[in-house]
C-alpha cells in the first residue's frame, strides 16, 4: 500500500470522526443505557428502591392494555396519514410536473407547511376545530356544537388532518423528483400505441417510480410512527388518543419512572427496526441515496 | 402545447384549492392573533375588531417577566449554534465521503441513514438521566448536543450530494495557472461549495427550530426552554382567561420570519430536500 493511499485513508477517517462521534454519542450510547435501565427498577421519586428486576418491566408494559391501545393508535394514525399523504402527494407531484402555469406558485404554497413549526400548526388546527374559538363548526354541513376533541375518532381525524397538512409537501417534492427522471419519450411511445392516460400512469409512471415511492414511504412511515407534537398539543392523550411516544414521555418525564419508561423506549426502538427491515427486505427498497 | 379553455379553468381551480389548503392555518392563526379577548370566541375567520394587545402582552415586563422574550432568545441561539457546528462537522465528513477513497465510506453513509431513522423518544430517558448528573439538564448545550446528532444525517446527505457535483479538477487547473493551494481553495472551491452549505444550513436550522420533544423533556425553565416548548406552557393573564390570543401572537412571530425565509430560498430548499433521492 503506497503512502498516498495510506494518508488518504487516514484523512478520510479523521474528517469523518467528529461527525461519527457526535452521532453515536447521543444514539448508540443512550440506547445501550436505556436497555440497562429497562432491566432495573429505577423510579426517581423513590431513589432508595431499585435493583435488577430482569424482564419484569417489559412484562409490565406488554401486559398493560395501555401499551397495546397506544400501539394501535400509533399504527392506525401512521397507516391512515401516510396513505393519504401518498395519494395527495402523488396528485400534487403530477400536477406540478404537468403544470400549465403557476408551477412556482404551487411550489411556494407546498413549502409553507414545511416551514411552520409543528407545534404552531397543531395549535392553529386545534383553535380552528375548537367549539368555542373555531370557525370549522360554522361551516355548512357541520353541527355547530360538535366537540371534535371530545371523542376518540373525531380527535383522530383532526390529528390526521394536521399531520397530512404538515408533511404532504415533503412527500410531493420527493415524488416529483422521482417523476422528473422518467423519460418523456416513453409516454409518447405509449400514446402512439394507444395507451390511455390511466394505462400510462399504471404501466409507466408507477413501476418506474417504485424506488422513489418506497424511499418516500419508508421515511414518512418512520416519521409518522414517532408522532408526538401534534397529539401532545391537541389532546395530550385524552380520549384514548395517546401514541407510543406520548406514553414513553409520560413514564419517563412526567412520572420519572426511568425503568418502565426505558422499557417503552426500547420497545419503540424495536418497532422502528421492524418497520425499517420490513421496507428494506420485504418490499425490496434499495439502499436510498437520500437521507429522507 | 396548446391547452383548451376548459383545461385552463380546471387547472386554475386545482391551483386555488392547493393554495387555500396550504394557507388556511397560517391565515387563521394570524387572524386569531389580532382578535381582542372579547371577540376571540366570535368564530369568525376575519377579526371584527383589530388590536395589537396580544403582541404587546408578549413583551410586557421586559426579559425577566415576559413569557416570550427569553424563549425566543433560546430558540434563536440554540438553532444558530446547532446549525454552525452541524455544518462544519458535516462538511468535513461530506468532503471525505465525496472526494476521498477510504474503507468505511459506505459504513458512514449507512450509519447516518440509520441515525435518520432512529426514534428520538428512545434517547430521551437516558439523556434526561445523564444530563441531570452531568449538569447539562436545562442548559443550551443540553439541547444543542441532541439537535446536532439528529441534524447531522440531513446535513451530510445534502452536502455529499452537492459536493459530488463540484468539478474538483478546477482546483488543480487554478494551481496550474499559478494560484497557491490556499488561493485555489478559497477562490475556486469555496464559492462552488457555498450554495450547498447554505442549503444544508437552512434545513438544519428549520429542524432545530421545529423540535418539541427534546425541548420539553430536557428543560425545566426559561433558562433554556425554546419557543415551541414555551408555547405549550403559556397561561392566560388570569386563571379564567384562555391564553389563545397570546399563543396565536407568539406563533405568528416565530412562523412568519421562517416562512419568508423559506419562500426566498425555495429553490435551494427543494434541491436540498430532494438531493440524492432522485438516484434512490
Q: What is the pLDDT of residues A161-175, one digit of tens each?
A: 999 999 998 888 888
Task: Give yes or no for residue B237 having a pLDDT over 70.
Answer: no
Contacts of A108 in chain B (CB under 8 A): 263, 266
Structure confidence at residue A263 (pLDDT)? 93
B221 found inside a domain? yes
* Contact predicate A146/A154, CB 8 Å: yes
A116: closest CA of chain B, how far (Å):
6
Structure confidence at residue B238 (pLDDT)? 54
Task: List, as ranges, residues 147-186 from A with C-beta within 8 Å of B.
Answer: 165, 169-170, 173-174, 176-178, 180-181
B188 found inside a domain? yes
Structure confidence at residue B62 (pLDDT)? 76
Task: Give yes or no for residue B240 having a pLDDT over 70.
Answer: no
B30 found inside a domain? no
The predicted-structure confidence for A91-111, as pLDDT tens digits, reads as follows 888 888 877 777 778 788 888
pTM of the model: 0.90
Contacts of A11 in chain B (CB under 8 A): 96, 100, 102
Closest Cβ–Cβ partner in B28, B156, B266 for A124: B28
Q: Where are the alpha helices (DSSP H) in B100-226?
A: 105-117, 121-134, 140-165, 169-176, 181-183, 190-210, 213-217
Answer yes or no: do B126 and A25 touch at CB < 8 A. Answer: no
Phi, psi dihedral angles at A40 (to 5 degrees): -120, 165
Inter-chain contacts counted by CB atoms under 8 A, chains A and B: 327
The predicted-structure confidence for B16-47, as pLDDT tens digits, reads as follows 888 888 888 889 999 888 888 777 777 777 88
* Contact predicate B95/A12, CB 8 Å: no
Domain housing B229: 62-274
More confident residue, B114 or A47: B114
Contacts of B105 in chain A (CB under 8 A): 12
**SS3 assignment, position A43:** strand
Mean pLDDT of B189-203: 87
Mean pLDDT of B101-122: 87
How far apart are the C-alpha atoms of A119 and A133, rounded to whole Å?
18
Closest Cβ–Cβ partner in B41, B112, B259 for A291: B112
Contacts of A107 in chain B (CB under 8 A): 266, 270
Mean pLDDT of A136-155: 82
The predicted-structure confidence for B267-276, as pLDDT tens digits, reads as follows 888 888 776 4
Instruction: Please list, in sequence order, all residues whose beta carbon lies within 8 angstroms of the beta carbon of residue B17, skipping any fewer than 6 positions away.
Output: none
B254 found inside a domain? yes
Q: DSSP character for A180?
A: T
CATH number for the region A39-104+169-282 comes to 1.10.3720.10
ipTM over 0.90 threshold: no
Mean pLDDT score of chain A:
86
**Domain segments of chain A as ranges:** 39-104+169-282
Q: Which of A124, A134, A224, A248 is the mutation pick for testing B, counting most B CBs within 10 A? A: A124
Mean pLDDT of A221-236: 91
Share of chain A above pLDDT 70, in %: 96
More confident residue, A224 or A181: A224
How far apart are the C-alpha atoms of A115 and B128, rounded to whole Å?
28
Structural domains counted in chain B? 1
Could you tell me what percentage of chain B is helix, strand and coil, using 3-state DSSP and rounding each to the nearest 5?
A: 70, 0, 30
**SS3 assignment, position B164:** helix
**SS3 assignment, position B136:** coil
B101 found inside a domain? yes
Q: DSSP character for A280?
A: I
Closest Cβ–Cβ partner in A27, A108, A289 for B266: A108
Task: Give yes or no for residue B258 having a pLDDT over 50.
Answer: yes
Mean pLDDT score of chain B:
85
Answer yes or no: do A290 and B275 touch at CB < 8 A. Answer: yes
Mean pLDDT of B118-142: 91
The predicted-structure confidence for B198-220, as pLDDT tens digits, reads as follows 889 998 999 999 999 999 999 98
B255 found inside a domain? yes
Q: Which of A93, A107, A134 is nearest to A216 (CA)?
A: A93
Q: Which of A104, A111, A98, A105 is nearest to A172 (CA)?
A: A111
Structure confidence at residue B162 (pLDDT)? 87
What CATH number is attached to the domain comprising B230?
Answer: 1.10.3720.10
Q: Compute CA B126 distance to the chain's CA centroid, rounded to the nearest angstrom.
A: 25
The predicted-structure confidence for B58-99, as pLDDT tens digits, reads as follows 888 777 778 889 999 999 999 999 999 999 999 999 989 988
Amino acid at each position: 500500500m503506497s503512502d498516498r493511499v495510506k494518508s488518504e485513508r487516514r484523512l478520510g477517517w479523521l474528517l469523518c470522526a467528529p461527525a461519527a462521534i457526535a452521532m453515536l454519542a447521543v444514539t448508540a450510547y443512550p440506547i445501550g443505557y436505556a436497555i440497562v435501565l429497562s432491566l432495573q427498577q429505577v423510579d426517581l421519586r423513590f431513589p432508595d428502591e431499585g435493583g435488577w428486576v430482569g424482564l419484569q418491566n417489559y412484562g409490565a408494559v406488554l401486559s398493560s392494555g395501555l401499551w397495546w391501545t397506544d400501539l394501535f393508535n400509533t399504527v392506525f394514525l401512521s397507516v391512515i396519514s401516510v396513505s393519504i399523504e401518498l395519494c395527495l402527494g402523488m396528485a400534487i407531484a403530477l400536477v406540478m410536473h404537468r403544470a400549465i402555469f403557476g408551477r412556482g406558485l404551487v411550489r411556494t404554497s407546498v413549502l409553507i407547511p414545511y416551514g411552520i413549526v409543528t407545534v404552531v400548526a397543531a395549535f392553529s388546527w386545534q383553535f380552528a376545530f375548537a367549539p368555542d374559538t373555531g370557525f370549522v363548526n360554522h361551516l355548512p354541513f357541520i353541527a355547530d356544537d360538535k366537540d371534535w376533541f371530545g371523542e376518540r375518532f373525531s380527535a383522530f381525524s383532526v390529528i390526521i388532518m394536521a399531520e397530512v397538512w404538515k408533511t404532504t409537501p415533503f412527500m410531493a417534492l420527493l415524488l416529483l423528483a422521482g417523476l422528473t427522471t422518467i423519460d418523456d419519450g416513453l409516454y409518447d411511445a405509449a400514446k402512439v400505441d394507444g395507451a390511455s392516460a390511466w394505462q400510462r400512469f399504471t404501466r409507466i409512471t408507477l413501476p418506474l417510480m417504485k424506488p422513489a415511492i418506497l424511499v418516500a414511504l419508508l421515511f414518512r412511515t418512520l416519521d409518522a410512527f414517532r408522532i408526538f407534537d401534534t397529539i401532545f398539543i391537541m389532546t395530550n392523550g385524552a380520549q384514548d388518543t395517546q401514541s407510543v411516544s406520548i406514553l414513553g414521555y409520560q413514564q419517563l418525564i412526567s412520572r420519572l419512572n426511568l425503568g418502565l419508561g426505558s422499557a417503552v423506549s426500547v420497545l419503540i426502538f424495536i418497532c422502528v427496526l421492524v418497520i425499517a427491515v420490513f421496507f428494506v427486505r420485504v418490499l425490496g427498497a434499495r439502499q436510498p441515496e437520500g437521507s429522507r | 402545447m396548446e391547452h383548451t379553455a376548459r383545461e385552463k379553468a380546471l387547472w386554475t381551480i386545482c391551483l386555488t384549492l392547493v393554495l387555500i389548503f396550504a394557507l388556511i392555518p397560517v391565515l387563521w392563526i394570524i387572524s386569531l392573533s389580532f382578535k381582542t379577548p372579547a371577540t376571540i370566541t366570535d368564530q369568525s375567520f376575519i377579526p371584527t375588531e383589530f388590536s395589537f394587545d396580544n403582541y404587546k402582552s408578549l413583551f410586557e415586563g421586559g426579559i425577566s417577566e415576559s413569557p416570550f422574550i427569553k424563549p425566543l432568545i433560546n430558540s434563536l441561539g440554540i438553532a444558530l449554534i446547532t446549525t454552525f457546528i452541524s455544518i462544519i462537522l458535516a462538511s468535513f465528513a461530506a468532503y471525505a465521503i465525496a472526494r476521498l477513497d477510504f474503507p468505511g465510506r459506505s459504513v458512514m453513509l449507512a450509519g447516518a441513514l440509520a441515525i435518520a431513522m432512529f426514534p428520538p423518544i428512545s434517547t430521551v430517558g437516558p439523556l434526561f438521566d445523564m444530563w441531570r448528573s452531568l449538569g447539562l439538564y436545562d442548559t443550551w448545550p443540553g439541547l444543542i448536543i441532541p439537535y446536532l446528532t439528529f441534524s447531522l444525517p440531513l446535513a451530510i446527505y445534502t452536502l455529499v450530494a452537492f459536493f459530488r457535483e463540484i468539478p474538483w479538477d478546477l482546483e488543480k487547473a487554478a494551481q496550474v495557472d499559478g494560484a497557491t493551494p490556499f488561493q485555489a481553495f478559497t477562490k475556486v472551491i469555496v464559492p462552488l461549495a457555498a450554495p450547498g452549505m447554505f442549503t444544508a444550513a437552512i434545513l438544519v436550522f428549520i429542524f432545530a427550530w421545529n423540535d418539541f420533544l427534546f425541548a420539553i423533556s430536557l428543560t425545566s425553565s426559561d433558562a433554556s426552554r425554546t419557543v415551541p416548548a414555551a408555547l405549550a406552557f403559556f397561561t392566560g393573564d388570569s386563571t379564567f382567561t384562555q391564553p389563545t390570543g397570546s399563543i396565536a401572537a407568539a406563533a405568528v412571530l416565530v412562523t412568519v420570519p421562517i416562512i419568508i425565509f423559506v419562500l426566498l430560498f425555495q429553490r435551494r430548499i427543494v434541491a436540498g430536500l430532494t438531493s440524492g433521492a432522485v438516484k434512490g
